[in-house]
Amino acid sequence: MGAGDSVINSGLTITLADRPTDNAFYWTGERVEGILDFDLLSHLPPSLPADSPLEPCVQYFLCVTSKRNSLHRNNYKSIPLTLSPRLNVLHYPHYSLELENKNRKAVHLHAIISQNFIVPGANLSIQYDLRNPKRSMTDRIEVRLVQYRQMSSCGTVQKAIVEIDVPYIRKSREEYLEGTFNLKIPDIYLPPTWLHPSSSSELGLNSNIVWVKYELTMTVK
């Protein structure tokens, strides 16, 4: 780069109205107010933080450059933003979900999940009954909440959000087991389910570049 294009990450301060600058959270379509005001696009995919450099991710930054003359380097400053579409679960149909599976030992598991959506920090009630006619050894019942994400042609990546065992079941030969327990959803940022194509005219990219979905499984071990 020439001298007029180089930048330094100092000499500038970015301020946001009613937001911290270490990782400000905004709804897509919301107005950003600070040293400059602008509206975020409504159909941006949600932020997707990555646990490793190999994971596909979506990151947003607010970048400001102070242009100076050709004899001085430009001043540059950026701060991270977390974006998410504004969703109201009350506007979507509510219903319970059922899980059912049978392993090679003829152990049959049936479960009813209280609702079809998850909320960070909340509990998900799960009722289960297990039938073990051969009284085979049931070591445990594993419960997993998994996030699947895909970006363009990067392939699908899965990430375990919760991995626990159903309480009080360990090396059992009982013919019948039943009960109810609460699955605690971590109180962290979770990008919402995102299966909508992104507008290429707004993003300047191919459509269907990002999707996110979740799956809850229960497996008899």
46-61 pLDDT, tens digit each: 998 887 777 778 889 9
My answer on whether 67 and 164 are in the same domain is no
Closest CA to 160 of 180, 195, 185, 139: 185
3-state secondary structure of 196: coil
Closest CA to 23 of 49, 57, 45: 49
Of 84, 117, 137, which residue constitutes the final position of a domain? 84
Cα–Cα distance between 74 and 170 in angstroms, integer? 63
Give the CATH number, domain containing residue 143: 2.60.40.640
pLDDT at residue 200, rounded to an integer: 44
Is residue 1 assigned to a domain? no
The pLDDT tens digits of the residues spanning 9-36 come to 455 677 787 888 788 899 898 988 877 7
Sorted by sequence, the CB contacts under 8 Å of residue 53 that are 6+ apart come out as none
Cα dihedral value 117, 18, 32, 75, nearest 10: -130
pLDDT at residue 196, rounded to an integer: 62
Whole-structure pTM value: 0.78
Domain assignment of residue 169, given as a range? 89-220
My answer on whether 96 and 148 are in the same domain is yes
- Beta carbons of 30 and 40 less than 8 angstroms apart: yes
Is residue 2 assigned to a domain? no
My answer on whether 41 and 128 are in the same domain is no
The better pLDDT of the pair 153, 125 is held by: 125
Structure tokens at 121: 């920090």
User: Strands 176-184, 123-131: parallel, antiparallel or unpaired by DSSP?
Assistant: antiparallel
My answer on whether 79 and 95 are in the same domain is no
Split into its structural domains, the chain has a count of 2
Beta-bridge mates of residue 18: none
Cα–Cα distance between 75 and 12 in angstroms, integer? 7
Q: What angle do CA 35, 18, 21 make, to 5 degrees?
A: 65
Closest CA to 64 of 1, 3, 13: 13
Is residue 142 assigned to a domain? yes
